[in-house]
Chain A
Amino acid sequence: MIRCGAPAQEMRAMADEDIFFMRLQMLVIMAKGYLKGYPVGERRRAAIRENARLVFYQSLRHSDRFVAVNTDKNEKYDDQFCHFFCQRVQLLAVMATSFASGHRLENFRRQALADNVDHISGYLTEQLHLSDVPFLRVA
């Protein structure tokens, strides 16, 4: 038997916020996969659109919790930071909806997506890389 998840002493019910930050991580992975040219079938497109939709709306509810992102950085986390981070998350959701709907992102749009992904993932406490999930290269 394999055990994964939280250590025994840290087990608890999952909060909305736990799910939101995992959805955001997943959206970052989805966007990185798109930028790398990973195959995107119909189900993956549907999964991206659904995840983007929920991240967008949940970001409105959790915007004041973005101070929970990486606090190791010596930056000031104030209302302005939370506001702009929230805008970046919503922009990522819109971009993801766009490419998952079949709109090709070329040149500057592609660069804007890459920049936004880098910015957001740089602040997430738990870093996930595409190399950690090699099976996403196949559909």
Chain B
Amino acid sequence: MRIAIIDNVQIAVVDHDRLTREFIVNVMMYCVNRDVLVFENAVDIEAYLHSGKEVHLVFTEVHLPGKSGFELLRQIKQKHPKVCLIAMSANAADEIPATELGADVFLARPFALQDLFDIVEQFVVDNSASPVA
């Protein structure tokens, strides 16, 4: 099986915590060799999506200042059901509501580098690519 990254994959990271946000952006940028979209709050990414631009994968903290990440999960899943949503939290009680609101992955803090690699492998690597002749 030939390994391929999905063409023009767009990954977005929504987190108000700068250290975590920049780390995830750095790892994702290296993994897919493409720019990664960065948002500090839910309103900004909603405006981005509302403008008709496409995103394949969204990492979002569920406890964001202002509009919550839960509300963001609900709205994105409703309007853009094909987008893969990764809900991040440091609170175990958030797992069930995040799942119910449409999160495809619950990323429990503290996570490991391997968890990010696993997410790329699962959602960004195109495993349907044709085998090498």
Residues on A lying within 8 angstroms of B by beta carbon are: 1-16, 18-19, 22-23, 25-26, 29-30, 39, 41-44, 46-48, 50-51, 54, 126, 128, 132-139
Contacts and interface: CB of A to CB of B under 8 A. Distances in A.
A13 B99 CA distance: 20
A3 B26 CA distance: 22
Given A5-B115, A54-B22, 18 more contacts: A1-B103, A2-B105, A5-B112, A8-B108, A11-B89, A11-B92, A14-B19, A22-B23, A22-B113, A43-B33, A43-B34, A44-B30, A47-B29, A128-B114, A135-B5, A135-B121, A135-B125, A139-B33
A129 to B, nearest CB: 10
B35 interface: yes
Contacts of A2: 104-106, 122
Q: In this complex, which of A26, A132, A133, A135 has the most chain B Cβ atoms within 10 angstroms of its Cβ?
A: A135
A5 B19 contact: no
B49 to A, nearest CB: 22
A15 B107 CA distance: 16
Nearest to B19: A19
Contacts of A19: 19-20, 23
A12 B103 contact: no
Contacts of B3: 134-135, 137-138
Contacts of B26: 23, 26, 47, 50-51, 54
Contacts of B113: 22, 25-26, 29, 126, 128
A44 B106 CA distance: 27
Contacts of A25: 113
Residue with the highest number of chain A CB atoms closer than 10 Å, among B4, B112, B113, B118: B113
B118 A14 contact: no
Contacts of A30: 30
B111 A5 contact: yes
B33 A1 contact: no
22 contacts: A2-B122, A3-B105, A4-B105, A5-B110, A6-B111, A8-B92, A8-B108, A11-B91, A11-B110, A19-B23, A25-B113, A26-B30, A42-B33, A43-B33, A44-B33, A46-B29, A132-B117, A133-B117, A133-B120, A135-B120, A135-B125, A138-B5
B15 to A, nearest CB: 11
